[in-house]
């Protein structure tokens, strides 16, 4: 794809072992990007790297827990060693442990803070020095419409996504020298494994919504590609992708 602006870019996608991240990585690879697949489940990202390579694309799998700064630093270092540059970091890894505040699921709150907020900050800590050195870079972060419309049981998840949104907006305002582009993507219901680890009543409710009207994760991957394919002087700051019937 010689005329595709995505061809030749190196992109890290966190949370690439399933759902939205898997589709983002697959679509970027189909369009000629070199993709670095990150997640904790090694067998999943190894399998995706193989299927991308079998289809003629370029991908490596790097197991990483985004809650650990050292893992994310090693991830960025590996991407640069392998492909010589890093053009885009897609902070997509995320978890949702829903529950009413008075259930006091303090461990779940901490886990969401570690992955959904610290994970994004760790990505910045590892990638921004590379972007500054190169003179260009793009950070894409998956937030959520759950951060816009707050529903019962979603307070802490929504708070973490709003924190990530605020961090991205802060980065944008500090990056007006044109070196770093920022994009926040807010999906509504998307059919993925996100609800699998939820407690039964939340899982049933969220999975029913996903089944009834959830988007195919490909819809989100298209939006990410749209942001990445823009010329360097064009920043798609934020995109919301909902099922048309979602309130």
Contact between 21 and ligand NDP (CB under 6 A)?
yes
If residue 37 lies in a helix (H) or strand (E), which one and from where to where? strand 34-39
Residue nearest to ligand NDP (CB): 94
Under a CB-based contact definition with an 8 Å cutoff, are residues 149 and 186 in contact? no
Q: Write the DSSP string, 230-243.
A: S-TT----EEEE--
In the bound state with ligand NDP, the residue whose beta carbon lies nearer, of 114 and 229, is: 114
Which residues partner with 12 through β-bridges?
36, 89
Under a CB-based contact definition with an 8 Å cutoff, are residues 103 and 199 in contact? no
In the bound state with ligand NDP, the residue whose beta carbon lies nearer, of 40 and 78, is: 40
Contact between 115 and ligand NDP (CB under 6 A)?
yes
Under a CB-based contact definition with an 8 Å cutoff, are residues 11 and 87 in contact? yes
In the bound state with ligand NDP, the residue whose beta carbon lies nearer, of 66 and 202, is: 66
Tell me how far the alpha carbon of residue 184 is from its chain's centroid. 9
CB of 230 to ligand NDP, least distance (A): 21
Contact between 192 and ligand NDP (CB under 6 A)?
yes
Contact between 153 and ligand NDP (CB under 6 A)?
no
Q: Establish whether 157 is a catalytic residue.
A: yes
Distance CA 224, CA 246 (A): 20
CB of 206 to ligand NDP, least distance (A): 8
Question: Which listed range, 27-35, 81-89, 93-101, 122-130, lies at the site for ligand NDP (CB under 6 A)?
Answer: 93-101
Give the gyration radius of the chain's Cα atoms.
Answer: 17
The candidate with the shortest Cα–Cα distance to 89, out of 125, 128, 24, 139, is 139
Contact between 49 and ligand NDP (CB under 6 A)?
no
Out of 88, 157, 161, 228, the active site residue is 157
Residues that bind ligand NDP (CB under 6 A): 14-21, 39-41, 44, 64-67, 92-96, 115, 142, 144, 187, 189-190, 192-194
Residues acting as catalytic residues: 157
């Amino acid at each position: 794809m010689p005329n595709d602006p995505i061809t030749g870019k190196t992109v890290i996608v966190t949370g690439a072992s399933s759902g939205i991240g898997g589709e983002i990585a697959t679509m970027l690879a189909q369009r000629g990007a070199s993709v670095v697949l990150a997640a904790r489940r090694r067998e999943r990202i190894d399998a995706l790297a193989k299927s991308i390579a079998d289809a003629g694309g370029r991908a490596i799998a790097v197991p990483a827990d985004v809650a650990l700064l050292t893992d994310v630093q090693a991830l960025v270092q590996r991407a640069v060693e392998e492909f010589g540059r890093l053009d885009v970091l897609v902070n997509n890894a995320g978890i949702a442990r829903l529950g009413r505040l008075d259930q006091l699921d303090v461990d779940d709150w901490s886990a969401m803070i570690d992955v959904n907020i610290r994970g994004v900050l760790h990505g910045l800590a590892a990638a921004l020095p590379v972007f500054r050195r190169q003179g260009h870079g793009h950070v894409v972060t998956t937030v959520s419409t759950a951060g816009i419309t707050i529903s019962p049981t979603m307070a802490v998840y929504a708070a973490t996504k709003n924190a990530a949104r605020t961090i991205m907006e802060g980065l944008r305002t500090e990056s007006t020298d044109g070196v770093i582009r920022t994009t926040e993507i807010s999906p509504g219901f998307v059919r993925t494994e996100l609800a699998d680890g939820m407690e039964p009543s939340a899982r049933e409710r969220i999975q029913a919504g996903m089944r009834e009207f959830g988007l195919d994760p490909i819809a989100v991957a298209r939006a990410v590609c749209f942001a990445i394919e823009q010329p360097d002087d064009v920043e798609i700051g934020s995109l919301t992708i909902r099922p048309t019937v979602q309130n």
